[in-house]
Amino acid sequence: MSQFRFDGIWPIMPTPLTVDERIDEVGTRRVVNFLIEGGSHGLWMFGTRGEGPNLLPEYHRRALEVAMDEANGRIPIVTGCGAPGTEHTIESIRVAESVGVDLVHVTEPYYYKMKDAEMMAHYQAVADAVKIPLVIYFHDAKYPNVRPGICPAVIKEMAARPNVVGIKVSTSDQRVLQSIVWETQEVTDNFGVMVTDGQMFVSGMIAGCAGATPAEAAFAPKLFAEMYKLAKQGNWAEALELQKTIIPLSDAITGFGAPSGKAIYAALGLCEEWVSMPLQRMPEPHRQQLSDLVKTGQYA
């Protein structure tokens, strides 16, 4: 388990749905192939843009089964198993393990605002229970007592565990990102820190991130795969030039969450725009502007 290297580009995959909020199996297969053929290093299912909290457990399972079948071992799959409570989280992990996913991802418990001791107890219990590699999450608005330049103690504690292989970092503060990268590197050399903001990709890689989990990579996988290759080669100038091209796409999806992903996939002919209630289709004129941007082909 400790040999797994969590690195590269792992797009946050939107979940194709039917009008009655079932899994669009044909669309799911198209999306899986689109991301694999685009050079993604892994598939990230049921992140925020995957609408996981809105879907019933049986639909989670079916989406994973379809994606696993279509991927057929070509790249690893991680799925979100976060829940407000620890027992619920572990139960979700058991479902994911039974399907055969490669890793599971756990967020901070949501609904209640966590204290340090509660966050630590939650992650320790989950790490003790999980049987496959675990990826944790950091969102600076949800962690207690976040201070720039200091890595939260729970993250260093989890990084020391051999079955915890990485973390997805959601922050707009480069100081916070750097502290997590540098302080976990003091603990282990096998803990992949992933930058989430697509516009922080290059700076994150310079700081020592192992890769990225940006929303934008689900719609421009080839571009991000190329940026990653350039970053690994140390070709920062070319990587930055590519990152600049991401800005219009980032701006167009900001604030619109999962519906913006469905609008893009519809424009690309991958699936329909159905989203899970209470979400609604992306409003006009933003939807049309986003569709027009994608259809220019600059992100293909």
- DSSP string of 198-232? GGGHHHHHHHT--EE--GGGGT-HHHHHHHHHHHH
Count of positions (residues) in the chain: 300
pLDDT at residue 146, rounded to an integer: 81
79-92 residue pLDDT tens: 999 888 999 999 99
pLDDT above 90 for 132: yes
173-182 residue pLDDT tens: 999 999 999 9
pLDDT above 60 for 107: yes
pLDDT above 50 for 127: yes
Count of CB atoms situated within 10 Å of the CB of 12 = 23
CA distance 166 to 262: 28
Query: How sure is the predictor about 149, in pLDDT bands with cuts at 50, 70 and 90?
Result: confident
For 200-211, what is the mean pLDDT? Answer: 96
Tokens at 268, concatenated: 């690309």
pLDDT above 50 for 1: no
Residue whose tokens read 């913006």: 260
pLDDT above 60 for 2: no
Query: In this prediction, what percent of the chain has a pLDDT beyond 90?
Result: 85
Least confident of 79-83, 143-147, 150-154, 275-279: 143-147
Q: What average pLDDT is seen over the chain? A: 94
CA distance 190 to 195: 16
Q: How far is CA 48 from the centre of its chain?
A: 8
Containing 167, the helix (H) or strand (E) segment is strand 164-170
CA distance 204 to 299: 21
Query: How sure is the predictor about 7, in pLDDT bands with cuts at 50, 70 and 90?
Result: very high
For 249-255, what is the mean pLDDT? Answer: 95
Q: Helix, strand or coil for residue 184? A: helix
CA angle 130, 133, 138 (to 5 degrees): 90
Least confident of 45-49, 101-105, 177-181, 232-236: 45-49
Going by the DSSP 8-state scheme, the letter that residue 147 receives in this structure is B
Query: How sure is the predictor about 59, in pLDDT bands with cuts at 50, 70 and 90?
Result: very high
pLDDT at residue 137, rounded to an integer: 94
pLDDT above 90 for 158: yes
Going by the DSSP 8-state scheme, the letter that residue 109 receives in this structure is P
The alpha carbon dihedral of 65, 66, 69, 72 has a sign of: negative
121 and 151 Cβ atoms separated by less than 8 Å: no
More confident residue, 142 or 252: 252
Query: How sure is the predictor about 102, in pLDDT bands with cuts at 50, 70 and 90?
Result: very high
**pTM, full prediction:** 0.94
Burial class (CB in 10 A: 0-12, 13-18, 19+), 41: buried
CA angle 264, 270, 273 (to 5 degrees): 55
CA distance 51 to 257: 9
For 27-54, what is the mean pLDDT? Answer: 95
Tokens at 62, concatenated: 């079916």
Tokens at 58, concatenated: 């049986």
pLDDT above 80 for 300: no
CATH number of 8-294: 3.20.20.70
CA distance 1 to 190: 11
Query: In this prediction, what percent of the chain has a pLDDT beyond 70?
Result: 99
134 and 165 Cβ atoms separated by less than 8 Å: yes
Q: What are phi and psi of 29, to 5 degrees?
A: -65, -40
Q: How far is CA 298 from the centre of its chain?
A: 23
pLDDT at residue 114, rounded to an integer: 85
Task: Give me the residue spans of the domains in the chain.
Answer: 8-294
Query: How sure is the predictor about 124, in pLDDT bands with cuts at 50, 70 and 90?
Result: very high
For 212-236, what is the mean pLDDT? Answer: 96
